[in-house]
Amino acid sequence: MNAEIIGFQELWHEQAMREIISENQAYKDAEIIISSKEGTSPNVALLSKFPILNYEIFKDFPLRANLDFEDTIIPINSFSRPVIAADIALTNDIQCTVFVAHLKSKRPIITENVDRKDPTEIVKATARSLIRRAAEANALRVLLIDKLKNRQHPVIALGDLNDGNLSVTTRMITGQPPWEKLKFEAKKKIWDVLLYSVKDIQARQSYGDFYYSHIYNGYYDSLDHILVSEEFVRANPNRIGQVTYVSVLNDHLIDETLSDEDRKEWQSDHGQIIASIRLEN
């Protein structure tokens, strides 16, 4: 990857990662943030070659992100994996906030003492998973808006959002583009808090689309995302930089419906997304 900023999605053993990074000369001076050092579930992590000025780790949702439905509070108020938000100095004059998140997967949440093969139980379990991912997407969006709203402050969100870029939950995180017939001043307020998928940016610059980061049961999907604020979008006349190229390291992924080859245990079952961003002079 050879990236200056990396978001790790499933960190099980902190010491193992630190040993691997310390052995790589390219990252010997990099700073590392771990989302949590407790529990037995995987965490996210952030590596930066640039100075990290400060950071926050969010396990619990902001109170204003709590969801209610027909006067009932949905009892989901924390992330499956804590979210990292770090302020990074890209240059002496440019600071950027980078979020690293890993939302709830599509794996069904099946309760105890039920028939796991019962199609009714399976669909209910799938709905539980979706509800949790939607709640986490909502909370992440609230955190992002705090950094984006009424500020000329660049933001990048990295992570396994566990759904495609056009899915409801991913669109909750990015926000919806303004209606084309809105007045310009109204559009500016919406653009101020939008995030843009580097997948879409690359697609508008290229005739080919080979962006998939996961294969499951023959379905090729893009679960992993890099989202950038308007400060890194070429169409913005006030940009401070722009996404110039996006690549996906996915040659190691195997479509098991077409091949008898087994994936090595040490290999990730996800592709790695790399976005090149050129800062303006």
In this model, does residue 219 exceed pLDDT 90?
A: no
Domain-located, residue 277:
no
Alpha-helical (H) ranges within the chain are 14-22, 119-148, 168-174, 184-191, 198-203
Domain-located, residue 280:
no
Could you list the beta-strand ranges (E) of 95-180. 95-102, 155-160
Domain-located, residue 158:
yes
Closest CA to 228 of 247, 241, 209: 241
Tens-digit pLDDT profile for residues 44-85: 999 999 999 999 999 999 999 989 888 888 899 999 999 999
Residue entry with tokens 């402050």: 153
Average pLDDT over residues 125-145: 96
* pLDDT at site 37: 73
Domain-located, residue 148:
yes
Cα–Cα separations (whole angstroms), residue 250 to 7, 47, 159, 210 = 17, 21, 16, 9
Q: What is the CATH number of the domain that holds 227?
A: 3.60.10
In the chain, what percentage of residues exceed pLDDT 70? 98
**Are 205 and 254 spatial neighbours (Cβ–Cβ below 8 Å)?**
no
Name the residue range of residue 143's domain: 5-270
In this model, does residue 200 exceed pLDDT 80?
A: yes
d(CA 213, CA 220): 8
How would you class 8 by CB atoms within 10 Å of its CB: exposed for 0-12, middle for 13-18, buried for 19 or more?
buried
**Are 101 and 113 spatial neighbours (Cβ–Cβ below 8 Å)?**
no
d(CA 53, CA 153): 15
In this model, does residue 120 exceed pLDDT 70?
A: yes
Domain-located, residue 275:
no
In this model, does residue 102 exceed pLDDT 90?
A: yes
Tens-digit pLDDT profile for residues 240-267: 999 999 999 988 888 888 888 877 788 8
* pLDDT at site 207: 64
Q: How far is CA 87 from the centre of its chain?
A: 16
* pLDDT at site 218: 83
Confidence band (pLDDT; 50, 70, 90) for 209? low
* pLDDT at site 211: 78
Closest CA to 33 of 19, 23, 48: 48
> What's the whole-number average pLDDT of the chain?
91
| Total number of domains constituting the chain | 1
In this structure, what DSSP letter does residue 232 have? G
Average pLDDT over residues 183-206: 89
**Length, in residues, of the chain:** 281
In this model, does residue 89 exceed pLDDT 90?
A: yes
Confidence band (pLDDT; 50, 70, 90) for 128? very high
**Are 143 and 63 spatial neighbours (Cβ–Cβ below 8 Å)?**
no
Tens-digit pLDDT profile for residues 14-42: 888 899 999 999 998 899 999 987 667 88
d(CA 261, CA 244): 35
Domain-located, residue 54:
yes
Domain-located, residue 249:
yes
* pLDDT at site 39: 63
3-state secondary structure 248-270: EECCCCCCCCCCCCCCCCCCCCC
Domain-located, residue 279:
no
Phi, psi values for residue 98, rounded to 5°: -115, 125
